[in-house]
Amino acid sequence: MEQDPRHYLDEIRENLKKIQAQGRVTPTENALFGMIDGMAGLQLALMEQLADTRRRLQALEAATAAT
């Protein structure tokens, strides 16, 4: 079963909070998690756009088939 992509964003953010709570986050670690979070956000936006495109295509195909 596929997981909701938002799950991964939440997991990244939770892991960052755990590391930050330890009080030992280096600037490099902080930057790395920031980049990962940003990339995950871009991936999520892409997946949402793809899902919308699929819905529109299916609606168009259904309308075409009905005529």
Residue 37 is predicted with a pLDDT of 81
Rounded to two decimals, what is the model's pTM? 0.65
Residue at 7 is within a domain: no
HEC letters along the chain: CCCCHHHHHHHHHHHHHHHHHCCCCCHHHHHHHHHHHHHHHHHHHHHHHHHHHHHHHHHHHHHHHHC
Residue at 54 is within a domain: yes
Residue at 3 is within a domain: no
Question: Whole domain around residue 16: which residue ranges?
Answer: 12-20+30-66
Residue at 1 is within a domain: no
Residue 2 is predicted with a pLDDT of 66
Residue at 56 is within a domain: yes
Burial 28-52 (b: 16+ CB within 10 A, else e): eeeeebeeeeeebeeeeeeeeeeee
Task: Report pLDDT digits (tens) over 14-56.
Answer: 887 888 788 888 889 888 888 888 888 888 889 899 999 999 9
> What is the tally of structural domains in the chain?
1
Asked if 43 and 3 touch (Cβ cutoff 8 Å), the reply is no
